[in-house]
Structure 1
Amino acid sequence: MKILTCSNSCPRWEAGKISPRSPGGLVPMVIALLDQHGGDWIFTLPPDRPGTPETVRIGDDVVLHPIEPGEELRRQHYDEVSIRLILGLLHYLHDTSEQPVFDDRMRAAWAGYEEVNRRYAKRLVEVSGGGDDELVLLNDPHLMLVPEFFAAERPGRRRLAYFLGTPWCEPDYFSLIPRPIRVRLLTSLLRCDVVGFHASRWADAFLRCCARELPGAVIDGRTVHHAGHRTDLVATPFPLDTGTIDKMVAEPPMEKWRGRLAQAARGRRIMLRADRLDLWKNLPRGFRAYEMLLERRPELAAECWFAAVVTTPSRATGRHLAYAEATEEVVRRINERFAVDGTEAVSLVRPAADDDSRHCVLAGLSMSDAAVVNSTYDGLNLFAKEAAYVLPDNASLLISENAGVLENLSRFAVPVDPFDLAATSEAMEAALTGPGRSSREERRSMLRGETVSGWLEEVFRL
């Protein structure tokens, strides 16, 4: 068996080894698959690796194929279409009073999106031998036209799967983009044998979009028949790499971070969250909910500490920067109101570039009484799975009703409405002052049962 995979996300590579550029998400999963099966990985070359050859061999079995779009295509494909338009759509981020706008600038950007997808498909055709032992795995909303272009060159090709790590929006919201584009995206994805999501609700939303936008489609359960092709939908979340976590918790950086965090906590109970500063992570509302808790019970500022480990997106937009400023402003306000003897009531923890942010997160979780995920809409949220694995016995895990991971961890979690600050505040109070609701061993046993091989079998129906 051999894996051929495409993603916008990319790894680091050095001295014949590949590793994630950041913790969590797609890249560690792809690395694990290639370690087991070998194959080819096509991805967008990061701007910090100029001059990289078109192919990079890693050991005997893995070949990397960086795609260099150039800065103008990168801006059109990544910034304008993939991030602002498509991720904004799938995460319900558009302010519909003024967004999105399909003018000449957006049409030019869409042409750039097409061109990058065409280049990916061309490279995929070049590396594909067409053998029965090949599994083609496409990823990321950045590449939703690759199936269309690839199928035109490899008609009838089987074992082609597309996995979307994002949510999928409902038909009314999907119709914010012009009909020719939304029909084309759906039709392209239905060239695949399998389309996968982290949660059933995202798969079901995709089916409803197909039912509305493709009159000729026949939907039978989680199968779509369209244009003479059958596509199965699957809902299977990424597994947590528990083996790697078990190794990390015994490494020296864990003790370093435990010491730093213990010094900041000063003996107080800890509630932790960890997020990249993406617009859907909902940090300002989460801190505002905690502020409401301190307004009711100001004494908890001396007993509890709410910490957020945060990282910045690699290509932050103006909207991201404004969102970061809003987050920092609410943190400043809370500390001005509730800091005790100069000790912060809430904190943003930003590991330096030379620090391991994942060790920081795991160290914080091992010391915490509660963890919070209150994203507005989230495809999965791997931090929640890390929390379920690492949190001490009887700690509380609060998870947004709109995070895909809630389906996976429902019996261990307290669901929270990410838009209802009063209810979130009450859930935080219960988490910090009452007993937890789940056994650490039960959580760990379930997560250890999830494997990369099992995920691959579910996606490809092996």
Structure 2
Amino acid sequence: MGRLVVISNRTANLGKNTQIGGLAVGIVDALKAQGGLWAGWDGSVVDAEEAAKTKIQTHGNVTSLTTPLTSEEHEKYYLGFANKVLWPAFHYRLDLMDYRMEFVDCYSATNAKFAEMISPHLRDDDVIWVHDYHLIPMAAELRKRGHKNRIGFFLHIPFPSADIFSAVPRHEWLRYCLLQFDLIGFQTINDVHNFHRYLKEHSDAAIISPELVRVNDRTIHIGHFPIGIDVKQFAKVSARTDDTIELERMRRTVLKRFQVISADRLDYSKGLPHRMKAFRKFLEICPEYQGHADYLQIASPSREDVTAYSDIKAELEQLAGAVNGRFADFNWAPVQYINRNIPREKLAPLFRASLVGLVTPLRDGMNLVAKEYIAAQDNKDPGILILSKFAGAAEELSEALIVNPYDISEVAHALKTAVTMPLEERQLRHRKLLKRVIDHDAQWWQREYLHALQHGDQHSANERVA
């Protein structure tokens, strides 16, 4: 068995003992087990001369291969085509799409730059795993350079409906690039269905089965692989004593208060203003909880130089002020809004101390916050997860209170259901949710995906025999 080569927009710090996030946890374990290479952008923006340099670091049997971006590449490849075209389109926000020809040109050229950096380091028996929307052209670029390795792609964000994807400029080229991979992995069954529908309506690809597509004598595998978290590690962190949080929890117990928590990146796809409006509606329809319900909204900064993000930041600040201005008393303010990054060591016990986890994105590939909230709970007295039906996690986590995030009244009533739910029902729901999160953790995700990628030829033969 050859090495594993991982290509992603950003790489993890392989020198750290503990990784954060489903992607890093799953991949680092696989790289260490199999030996390999992780390649991508190092996160820095430099001048053209410096950006041509490659940095190579070795950690045991794993090598890190990184390069900087120029300011033009950062502006047009990363902020431009990736995050002003693909990100809004894949999250069903065509109205926010800002397409310019120079964006797609730079997107293509930067993928070629990454491929040129990686190509000399590849071996014929390497298995290559490419990640996310930034690098859709990567297989095509590597094929141009003569590499016949098995190459897989995993999309961490949603794949949109056929009509939405067909509205993306250069979608035919993106389709061609995707079909240069041997395995295309999605988060959900719905994503797979959307991709099938698009191929049927906009290509001559032959759909052999739900898992197989044939194009020009090539067989491409398609599957859904819901990403998970490191459950044991997150549960361990959540159970650690934090004096500040413990003091606040005791204060709320004495005052008969409870906390609703929401923690996400500051992004228009997350529906953060909708959540705050739903909490305001909850206080209106349940006045008995005024003075007793605390809403903690953590919105970590994200792409602050993109106009759509600064707009939503201003809206949230205005909403938080309006809700507090209307409902606050001398010793109680209903909304606590935090616009900065909170360390996991602090976030995990905050999840554990919260009666309700409000995770209601307008559209999300998976949303690992939902799984982290479940993993953080005390089995004896667990909180309740309210989850958007448009989050990929909703396909797995059916025992959560599933809501339409656009329906403010529905989410408000779900809050009422959550805070009045009997302990026995909370425990039953949590047991089922936790089992599913454990069964489909980060390690399961990488094992399932890599098995499908490495054994694709065998599956193809079985399909032909059948």
Matched, 1:55 2:55: yes
Q: Read off the aligned partner of 2:439 and give its amino acid letter.
A: G
Equivalent residue number for residue 461 of structure 2:
none
> Are the equivalent residues in 2 in contact too, given 1:301–1:340 (CA < 8 A)?
no
1:167 aligns with 2:168: no
Offset of residue 169 of structure 1 = 0.6
Is 1:44 aligned to residue 36 of structure 2?
no
CA RMSD of aligned residues (A): 2.4
User: Which residue matches 1:176?
Assistant: 167
**Which residue of the partner structure matches residue 157 of structure 1?**
149
Provide the residue aligned with 1:366 in structure 2. Answer: 352
Distance 1:18 1:121, change over 3 A: farther
Tell me if 1:424 matches 2:425.
Answer: no
Q: Which amino acid aligns with 1:296?
A: I
In structure 1, what is the Cα distance between the partners aligned to 2:146 and 2:427? 49
Q: Percent identity?
A: 22
Q: Distance in 2 between matches of 1:363 and 1:183?
A: 46
Distance 1:388 1:74, change over 3 A: same
Q: Which amino acid aligns with 2:301?
A: T
SS at 1:192 equivalent: coil
Match for 2:141: what amino acid?
F
Q: Partners in 2 of 1:285 and 1:110 — Cα distance?
A: 32
Mark the CA change 1:258 to 1:47 in structure 2 (over 3 Å): closer, same or farther. Answer: farther
Deviation at 1:371, TM superposition (A): 0.7
- Give 3-state SS (helix, strand or coil) of 1:248's partner: helix
Q: Which whole-Å CA distance do the structure 2 matches of 1:293 and 1:251 have between them?
A: 31
SS at the partner of 1:47? strand
**Helix, strand or coil for the counterpart of 1:299?**
helix
Q: Distance in 2 between the 1:49 and 1:36 partners?
A: 34
Residue 454 (1) aligns with residue 444 (2): yes
Map 1:118-129; keep pairs closer than 5 Å: 118-129=112-123
- Answer whether contact 2:210 2:222 (CA < 8 A) is retained: no
- Decide whether the 8 Å contact of 1:351 with 1:357 is kept in 2: no
Amino acid at match of 2:109: E
Q: Is it true that 1:140 corresponds to 2:156 in the alignment?
A: no
One-letter amino acid of the counterpart of residue 114, structure 1:
S
Aligned-residue offset at 1:303: 1.6
* Within-5 A mapping of 1:43-442: 43-47=40-44, 54-95=54-95, 100=97, 102=99, 106-131=100-125, 134-154=126-146, 156-158=148-150, 160-178=151-169, 181-251=170-240, 254-259=242-247, 267-350=256-339, 357-392=343-378, 393-410=381-398, 412-435=399-422, 436-439=425-428, 440-442=430-432
CA contact (8 A) 2:327 2:334 kept: yes
Does the aligned pair in 2 maintain the 1:375–1:418 contact within 8 Å? yes
Classify 1:326/1:451 alpha carbon distance in 2 versus 1 (closer, same or farther; 3 Å): closer
Q: Which amino acid aligns with 2:270?
A: K
Please state how far the C-alpha of 1:282 moved relative to its aligned partner.
Answer: 0.4
Contact 1:9 1:26 (C-alpha < 8 Å) held by counterparts: no
Contact 1:271-1:306 within 8 A present in 2 as well: yes
Change (3 A) 1:361 1:37: same
Instruction: State the aligned residue count.
Output: 442
Report the Cα offset of residue 34 of structure 1.
2.3
Per-residue Cα deviation, 1:255-309 (whole angstroms, up to 9, x for no partner): 4444456668864111111101111010101110111111122231212111122
Q: Is the 8 A contact 1:255 1:363 kept in 2?
A: no
Whole-Å separation in 2 of the counterparts to 1:208 and 1:321: 35
Secondary structure at 1:288's aligned position in 2? helix
Structure 2: gaps of 5 or more residues: 456-466
Asked if structure 1 preserves the Cα contact closer than 8 Å seen for 2:328 and 2:334, the reply is yes
For residue 41 of structure 2, what is the amino acid of its counterpart? T
- Mean alpha-carbon deviation: is it higher for 210-219 or for 70-79? 210-219
Q: Distance in 2 between the 1:101 and 1:314 partners?
A: 15
Question: SS at the partner of 2:223?
Answer: strand
Helix, strand or coil for the counterpart of 1:308?
A: strand
1:2-50 Cα shifts (integer Å, max 9, x gaps): 220111133346xx44765xx5353333333323333111111212799
Give yes or no for contact 1:257–1:359 (8 Å, CA) kept in 2: no
Contact 1:125-1:154 within 8 A present in 2 as well:
no
Instruction: State the partner residue of 1:6.
Output: 7
Contact 2:137 2:174 in 1 (8 A): yes
Q: Distance in 1 between matches of 2:339 and 2:54?
A: 35
Give the deviation of 1:430 after TM superposition: 1.0
* CA–CA separation in structure 2 for the residues paired with 1:49 and 1:62: 26
3-state SS of the aligned residue for 2:357? strand
CA distance in 1, matches of 2:81, 2:321: 34
Which ranges in structure 1 are unaligned for 5 or more consecutive residues? none
Say whether the 8 Å CA contact 2:156–2:366 is kept in structure 1: yes
**Amino acid aligned to 1:445:** K
1:212-244 per-residue CA deviation (whole Å, 9 max, x = no partner) reads 111244342232111221111111111220232
Alignment check: 8 A CA contact 2:45 2:68 kept: no
Distance 2:29 2:250 in 1: 33
Instruction: Identify if the C-alpha distance between structure 1 residues 73 and 337 changes in structure 2 by more than 3 Å, giving closer, same or farther.
Output: same
Task: Give me the whole-angstrom Cα distance separating, in 1, the residues matched to 2:270 and 2:86.
Answer: 17
How many Å separate the matches in 2 of 1:130 and 1:395? Answer: 50
Q: 1:257 to 1:71 in 2, by over 3 A?
A: farther
Structure 2: which amino acid aligns with 1:34? L
- d(CA) in 1 for partners of 2:217, 2:273: 48
Q: Counterparts of 2:70 and 2:248 in 1: how far apart (Å)?
A: 41
Contact 1:398–1:427 (8 Å) recurs in 2: yes
Secondary structure of the residue that 1:11 maps to in structure 2?
A: coil
